[in-house]
Structure 1
Amino acid sequence: MTDLRAVAITAVTASALIVAGCSAGGDPDKGNSGLVASPPPVTGTASASSPKGLVLPLEAYQTTNAQELMLSRAHDELTTACMRRFGFTTFTLNQSDSPQQSGRPEQMTRRYGPVSDAKDAAEYGYHLTPGQNLAPPAKSAGSSKRTSSETLVLTGSAGGPKPQPDATQSTKATYGGEEVPAGGCYGETGRKLAVDPSVNINFPQILAVSAYDQSRADSRVRDVVTKWSACMSEKGYNIKDPVDAAAGFSLDGAASAKEIQQAVADVACKEKVKLVSVWFSVESAYAQKLIEQNQQQLTAVRNQLDVQLRNAAQTLGQAVPR
């Protein structure tokens, strides 16, 4: 059975969790840069019954799904071309070799609970809609195990851990009469895409998780959640938090009539108490404050992403998608 609560939260946390050793508190080298000292004022409440189409402030410093797909394709194409230059003519990347993250769902639709759109609730209940597919696009399985020669050329090391793609120190190794690039083909790809290791491009995602967590604990959000819970109680459902609304249901098979009925009530109560509008507005206020506190780092991230996107687009012979 799939845990629907975990699925709902995944849309918020998945990107940040890929950063090893980092927490939602922000950049470890920047102290409390991911925390807001006091609840920020909300200058205006968004008028929205559904989160679809809403854009959080920190999204300006992140890639879109289409852009992530392009970066992943460019990474794969450059790395594969490098490997084949060394004679590995049948080389393909394993699923885990690529920095692909394009399987994340549209991040707003399940942000304030597993369903917040009336049409989705009536059709899918708490199930994932086609646009919320969490599985990344299928890729070739590649080789289940690399030979030492493949590993040497791919990573610049015959047996050690995968180096950072920015590696510049010579490997002092050759294969097929050609010197292996610093950092192997991964390193060559990183340099062609202009990866800058000093810029943590995941930092905006970490801040976004922090803004969400802080907004969830904010009294204004807790108040509207309490109102939503009271509304659900009037309809016969004893649920304290919209994030937990799908507990007890499964993603296996089609949504049951019981699930759809509850999901429809869930969204109706959200609309009645303006939960999406309030929560989005409060979260946006936290996000904007975090942007102000971390503007220099975020600008560096945006600039780095723009460079990588331009290089990836040039590699693939296409325009940068929106």
Structure 2
Amino acid sequence: MKNLTQYSLSTLALTALLVACSAAGSSPEEKHGEPGRVIIDARTGHIDRPLDRYFMSPQDLLQIRKAEASLTNRCMRDLRYGSHPLPTPRMDHEESYRYEFLVFPLSQVRKNGYKNTRKSPDPATEWSRGATRTQRALLDGSLRRYKGHAVPEGGCSTFAAQTLMKGAKPHRIKIEGMSITPDTSATPDGIIDTVMSALRYSTAVRSDSDERVKGVNEKWASCMQEAGFHYASPQAAANDGRWHGSKNPSKLETAVAVADMGCKTKVRYLDTVVEVQSAYERNLIAKQSPTLASLRKASKVWLDHARAEVNK
């Protein structure tokens, strides 16, 4: 469903935001502040970071997406288009945050190297492929009338989004000197995901330039060199162009991946990077408290509307 009904924000604004984040400097207190305690669950791989509490929970996100599908399908039925309805969303498989940091199970890399280490594709992609041209036009509003009925302004996707956000429509959101302006078809889950991902990205960029992270990268590179592999960073190892030529990993790829995971464990790579990024997240939360408070308040309204729709 995301392909056709997900948020539509200003791509230019978000791109500019990410560029601004990458160029921004760090204040001394950000750079040298104590990272504090960070929880990494060794059994599940779950990492608990400060910004996590501001993301929508998987259960609430499912409610929002179910409501989006229900409202969109109702709009389509009202227009007398009943075929190929949006499927009822299901709970996404929760990915371990370790994937974000390029830390994968040793048993997995021994078998697959770096392959199959990315998040599974959206199951709604198959639905999107089957959507007709007419259905797409009704969803985005490019078709103004259908079978004698007026199509809602912006299409059924916009109808669903605006119904969910009635009484708490988002305004321009300022982050790091830039702004994100949701358009009329922006959906609640899309807005929250875009804003929170931008905030998290900004802290990740800052942590990458932190001396503590640079130090652990150097230790990792030295460990890899001892194993016979020369890479400047974990990203360089995972994205080696030689891994993209076939579906099955080569012996070299699996050897590099196994050494990579071993070196990350040896130098405490994950602990260091997560601790540093969490310190930047706490700093950002303090700076962005009005934005986060406003987003949380609006999301409660959106969720109430979603639950009302789903429970009809």
After TM superposition, the score normalised by the length of structure 1 is 0.70
Partner of 1:110: 99
Partner of 1:132: 119
CA displacement 1:3-38 (0-9 Å, x = unmatched): xxxxxxxxxxxx99975123477599x999x86433
Partner of 2:170: 197
Q: Distance in 2 between matches of 1:112 and 1:299?
A: 28
In the TM superposition, what are the counterparts of 1:12-161 in structure 2 within 5 Å? 20-23=11-14, 26=17, 36-38=26-28, 39-44=31-36, 46=38, 52-64=45-57, 67-90=60-83, 92=85, 106=95, 108-113=97-102, 115-129=103-117, 132-137=119-124, 138-146=126-134, 151=137, 154=139, 158=143
Partner of 1:216: 208
**How far does residue 300 in structure 1 lie from its aligned partner after superposition?**
1.5
Q: Distance in 2 between matches of 1:317 and 1:146?
A: 30
Q: Percent identity?
A: 25
Partner of 1:12: none
SS in 2 for 1:22: helix
**How far does residue 223 in structure 1 lie from its aligned partner after superposition?**
0.5
Q: Distance in 2 between matches of 1:77 and 1:219?
A: 49
Q: Distance in 2 between matches of 1:250 and 1:64?
A: 34
Distance 1:57 1:265, change over 3 A: same
CA displacement 1:39-62 (0-9 Å, x = unmatched): 151243647596921022222222
CA displacement 1:57-90 (0-9 Å, x = unmatched): 2222223455445433321221121121122233
* Unmatched 5+ stretches in structure 1: 1-14, 160-173
Query: More deviation in 215-224 or 306-315?
Result: 306-315
| 1:304 is aligned to 2:291 | no
In the TM superposition, what are the counterparts of 1:137-286 in structure 2 within 5 Å? 137=124, 138-146=126-134, 151=137, 154=139, 158=143, 181=152, 183-194=154-165, 196-198=169-171, 200-201=191-192, 202-246=194-238, 247=240, 248-250=242-244, 252-286=246-280
CA displacement 1:156-209 (0-9 Å, x = unmatched): 6647xxxxxxxxxxxxxx877766545443343223312623165322210100
Task: Supply the AA of the counterpart residue of 2:161.
Answer: G
**Is the CA contact (8 Å cut-off) linking 1:36 and 1:290 kept in structure 2?**
no
Q: How many residues align?
A: 278
Task: Supply the AA of the counterpart residue of 1:229.
Answer: A
CA displacement 1:212-250 (0-9 Å, x = unmatched): 111011111001100000000001010110011121213
Q: Distance in 1 between matches of 2:65 and 2:7?
A: 18
Query: More deviation in 276-285 or 69-78?
Result: 69-78
**How far does residue 134 in structure 1 lie from its aligned partner after superposition?**
3.4
The answer to which structure has the higher helix fraction is: 2
SS in 1 for 2:69: helix
Distance 1:238 1:16, change over 3 A: farther
**How far does residue 140 in structure 1 lie from its aligned partner after superposition?**
4.8
After TM superposition, the score normalised by the length of structure 2 is 0.72
Task: Supply the AA of the counterpart residue of 1:197.
Answer: P
**Is the CA contact (8 Å cut-off) linking 2:38 and 2:278 kept in structure 1?**
no
* Unmatched 5+ stretches in structure 2: 1-5, 174-190
Task: Supply the AA of the counterpart residue of 1:307.
Answer: V
SS in 2 for 1:243: helix
CA RMSD, 1 decimal? 4.0
SS in 1 for 2:109: helix
**How far does residue 310 in structure 1 lie from its aligned partner after superposition?**
3.4
SS in 1 for 2:282: helix
Distance 1:87 1:144, change over 3 A: closer
